[in-house]
Structure formats: structure tokens, C-alpha cells
Homo-oligomer: A and B are copies of this chain.
Amino acid sequence: VKGCVIFSSGFAETGAEGRAIEDRLRETAARTGIRIIGPNCLGVFNSFSGFYGCFSNTLDRVFPQAGPLSIISQSGAVGSHIYWLTRDRGLGLRYWVSTGNECDVDAAECVSFAAEDPGTKVIALYLEGARNGQRLVSALRRAAALKKPVIALKVGRSEVGAIAAASHTASLAGGDAVYDAVFRACGVYRASSLEELVDVAEVAAQGRFPKGPRLGVVTISGGGGIMVADEADAVGLTLPEMPADAQADLKAVLPFSSPRNPVDITAQAFNDLDLFGRYLDRIVGCGAYDAVIAFFTTVAGSPTMAPKLIEALGKVRESHPDFPIIISMLADAALTRRYADQGYATIADPGRATRAVAALWQLAQGMAPVPDAVPPSPVPAGEYDEVRSRALLSTVGIPVVQGRVATSAGGAVEAWRAAGQPVAMKVAAAAIAHKSDIGGVALGVDGEAAVREHFERLLAAGKRHAKGSAVDGVLISPMVTGAVETIVGVNRDPVFGPVVMFGLGGIFVEVMKDVAFRLAPFDEATAEAMIREIKGFPMLDGVRGRPRADVGALAKALADVSRFAAAAGDSLESLDINPLAVLPVGEGVLALDALVVPARR
């Protein structure tokens, strides 16, 4: 026996006793080499060989039609739901796997298998959580390298959802935002619903991908064009105007049409069915667009109009065999199939059709460059205060504001004089990580008397809270003005390892939750994408007459932090640079405060 599928539940998902039994299964698999799918799963099926090792009720109706899609689902019922949606739309199936508790074979391994399988062209993945992050990342990157689009629905965004996910298959899921970072890094399209998963799988299976974000729209109704335009704006597609010559051609055909983009054929199409083909051919061929959506709605399903329309579309497809075109239309399954046979993807809803184009464009861009491996360089153990954290950052290339630890009031005054401007004063003691919480920080201190007074106060506060361990003195740094304050953080995700977080200082992170994440390590280009991703980006880009901030230096610092985090690996629990001041263009960045927390060993 080389493999087995275990349907039964009553394992890790039920508590300690079940977990112990499942652990024995896992050990048995490892010892004997028997591969196990499940337990607590619905099994597998293979539409090519006709093997149905599963108890999905969908099979009491009809057997699957063979095709290019492999479905990998951690939930059996959801996997069945996805399969049924694809079947309803005539999308053929290759492999279907429900992985359940994953005591041996996990979703990542199934992705690897499907990626290497020549018969699989597209992979649909339903995920509640991964246990082995590295394996998932490798599998997804392998699929991207082999040009097998992966569309993933990862659930458990919400707090209740995450708890439900954890109790469902007893998985230890990484933070949900981290999956965004994972999918982004691996070129996976993250769907937000079952329907979107199936929409994108269906159009991706046609193998026609846009080379850019420029969307052309041809419609028999202004209304359809507006809906596409609204959604395009929301998902980052552009709707450039038709070139003047193409507009003139179409105006000549139909003087009262509106051929800017969206291009409205108007209800005149009912009187002259040739218009569908002529308009579509012109907009596809005009060179201004990377994909086209045709809103043909119920007309495409009309038994009196459809035959002629399908014929016209066939000719357009002959002239433009590789151009991605999605038709938003309502027709029965048989008629819809005839459009598919002419090489057209169909999605009923114009908004969903638009999101599918955006998904295709994201998939076409592939995965982020796989970063060079970083040689391990663990963080030295011990307690880190600001002084030691700053020193560590300096060694990895992050510019840090200058600072002097004064051990006497006189030394503090000297440091202030040397700075020649107001200073920040902070108690320096290895045992005190969170200085603000104990009143250990004074900002904008100026004048000899003030410096002396704060020195004594900060030292006293430090001694009161250091609980007997040493207080080194007071760290004195010049105040930095005219900068945009940002926050850079590293956290070790239990599943995916070090993840870098970026956001703007203060309320942007704390109130607006406006942050971006990436897996470490990454390069400067990825860092810049991350910076531009936050909603508050205009703050760095010269909003309200401010000078533009040095985004290039910020990107370099983020990439440097990511390489440091990757090198540190499991030795680093977290890192906070808060704030990282971003100065005007050409002046770089400066870490004004930092805290390294090594992992407890």
C-alpha cells in the first residue's frame, strides 16, 4: 500500500486525545513511507483516470468532465462547492483534492504536484491556514515559474473567522495579512470569494493574458459601460480613450454612437447585428488596449440574435487569436458553451468581468523577483535597549541619528551644546525597553537649565524602574525636523518567518491601520512598491506643499531591514524602528529610535 485516504473525523480537530491519535498516524506515515491524505477529509478524485476516492455528494449527479483545472481545498465541502461552480460553467477538471487535517500530505505538496503535472494548466486553492510556510512558498513559486496560474481563496480574515478556521482543521495559521504578502511574493491571485475564485480560474484557463492594465469596453448600453468603468477604477485598470482614427471610423459607421471608451454601439445593434463584430474588431485591433470587455447582456442569450453574433465573434477571434476578451452576458449553458467554443470567456456580471481582467493582469505580471538567499547571521542574545539596538542597526547599514550617552548633567549639557539645537533625551538602561511608559523620554529640550533638569529627572526615573540593574545614563540626540515619520517593523510569523511591516507614524498606523507587509528578504523595487501601497503615500510625495521625502533612501532602508531580518531568521523575535524619519529627497533617512527583541532561546 503506497497511499491511503482517511475520511474519518475525530482527530486533532476534537482536542488532545484526537491529536495524539493523529500524531501516531503521522509517525506511521513517516516510518513506512505510506502517504496519507486526511484524516477528516472528503478524499480525492482524478477525472482523467476515473478514480473517485471520495464521498462528495456531487458525484451522485454526474461525473466530472476532464479539463485543465486542479482544485486543492483544505475543506471538503468548500472544495465540492468550487468544483460544482466550475462544472456549471463548463470548466473541465484535472485533480480534486481535499486535504483535511493534513497529518501527512498538505495543500502545499498538492500545489507542487499540480504545478509539475503537465495536464494541469490552472490551480484553484482554498486555504484556511498553512503549517509549513516555507513549503507553501516554494510550491507557489514553483507554480509561478512553470507559468501555472494559482488563484487562492484564503479565509479567516476576521477575528471570528480566524478562530473558526483554527478550530475547523486544527491548523496553526499565520496572520492573515501575512498571506497577502506571501501571495504577492509568489504571483498568486488572492480571490475574495468562491465566485471570484471560479471566475478567475475560468478566464485564466483560456490562456490569454493582458500585457498591461489598459481596458477597452464595448457595450450595447451606456449603463454596462459605466459599471465596468466604476469597477476598473476600483481595481486599478485604466480606460484610455480610443485613438482618434478609430473613433472616426466608428462614427462613420454609426453617427450617434459614442466611441470614446466605453464604446457604446447603442440599441442600433438590434437593427444591424453586423455592428457587434465591426465594433469589437476595431476596438481590439486599435492598439490602445490590453484587454476588452464586451457588455452584450441578454442580447447574447437571445435565440434570434445569438447565432449571427456568435458567427461575427468567430471572425474577430480569427483576426486576434491571443487577445483577452471577456463577454459580460446572460445565456443558458448550451449557448454559453458556443461562445466558449469560439474562444471567448463569459462572465455574467460586468463588475466581476472587470475584476477578472485585473486578476489576469496581476497573474500576467508573475511573481516578485525571488530574492538572493541571505547568509544566516543570528542576532546576538541578550537584552537590547535603544543604544544597543541602534548600534546593531548601524552595522547593517541603516542610518541612525547620532547620539551620546551622558553620565552626568555636565556631560548632558556638553552633548546639547555639541548638537547646536534642541535635543531628544532618553534614559539609557538595558533593562528598560519601553522608555516612554516610565516617563523616560524628553523631546525638544533646549537651554542649559532645561537639559540639567531633564537629565536628573530621567536618571531618577530610570533608577526607579531598572530594578537594581544598571542605568547607563541619558542618551542625547539632536531633534530632527522637516521629516516624515514612518514606522518599520519586523515580526517573526510562526509559519512564514520574518515579515517586514511598513507604515506612516502615529495615527496612520494606530488609527487607520494603514500598513503594508512583505516576506523578508526583498529588494529595493519591492520595497518601493510596498511604500506606494499605503493610502498615506501622498504624505511622502509632497502633499500640501511639503518637500518630497527621500523615497529611494527609504526603500533601501526597508530592503536592508528585510535582509537583516532574513539573516537573523529565528534568532529575531521582533524589531521596531519607530520613528524612521524620512528626510527630503537627497537627504536620506534616519532611525530616531529602535528596539531589537531577540528570540527567547
**Chain A residues proximal to chain B, CB less than 8 Å:** 7, 9-10, 13-14, 42, 55-58, 60-61, 73-78, 80-81, 84-85, 88, 126, 128, 155-161, 164-165, 167-169, 192-195, 219-227, 229-230, 232-234, 239, 256, 258, 260, 262, 264, 266-268, 270, 295, 297-299, 301-305, 330, 348-352, 507, 510-512, 514, 535-536, 538-539, 543-544
How long is the Cα–Cα vector from A195 to B126 in the complex, in angstroms?
23
**Once the chains bind, are B9 and A224 in contact (CB under 8 Å)?**
no
User: CB within 8 A of A221: which of B7, B76, B330?
Assistant: B76
B222 touches A167 (CB 8 A): yes
Cross-chain contact A155 with B220 (CB below 8 angstroms): no
Q: Which partner residue on chain B sits nearest A506 by CB separation?
A: B544
Complex contacts, A260 vs chain B, CB 8 Å? 167
Distance of A507 Cα from B457 Cα, bound (Å):
35
Instruction: Write out the residue numbers on chain B whose beta carbons fall within 8 Å of the beta carbon of A225.
Output: 164, 168
A282 to B330, CA, bound (A): 40
B-chain residues with CB within 8 Å of residue A81 when the two chains form the complex: 224, 297-298, 330
Nearest 10 pairs between A and B by C-beta?
A168-B222, A77-B221, A75-B223, A158-B233, A78-B223, A161-B229, A161-B230, A160-B229, A57-B302, A155-B226
Set of chain B residues within 8 Å of A239, measured between Cβ atoms: 160
Q: Which residue of B lies closest to A262 (CB)?
A: B164
Task: List, in ascending order, chain B residues with CB within 8 A of A544's CB.
Answer: 510
- Chain B residues with Cβ below 8 Å from A9 are 256, 266-268
A260 to B165: give the CA distance in the assembly, Å: 13
What are 7 inter-chain pairs, A to B, with CB distance below 8 A?
Answer: A88-B330, A128-B222, A155-B230, A156-B226, A168-B264, A194-B350, A510-B543
Residues of B within 8 A of A75 (CB): 221-224
Bound-state CA distance A165–B262 (Å) is: 10
Give the CA-CA distance A356 to B223 in the complex, in Å: 23
Specify the chain B residue showing the minimal Cβ separation from A255.
Answer: B14
Sample of 19 more A-B contacts, CB < 8 Å, known A60-B303, A157-B233: A56-B298, A57-B305, A76-B267, A77-B220, A77-B224, A78-B221, A78-B297, A80-B298, A81-B298, A88-B330, A155-B223, A156-B226, A158-B232, A164-B226, A168-B225, A193-B352, A195-B352, A510-B543, A512-B535
Partner of A536, one of B13, B60, B507: B507
Q: Looking across the interface, which residue of chain B has its beta carbon closest to that of A75? A: B223
Q: Which residue of B lies closest to A258 (CB)?
A: B167
B159/A297 in contact, CB under 8 A = no
CB neighbours of A194 from chain B (8 A): 227, 349-351
Bound complex: CA of A510 vs CA of B352, how far in Å?
A: 31
Residue of B nearest to A127 (CB): B223
Report B-chain residues with C-beta under 8 Å of the C-beta of A266. 9
Cα A157 to Cα B156 with chains together (Å): 30
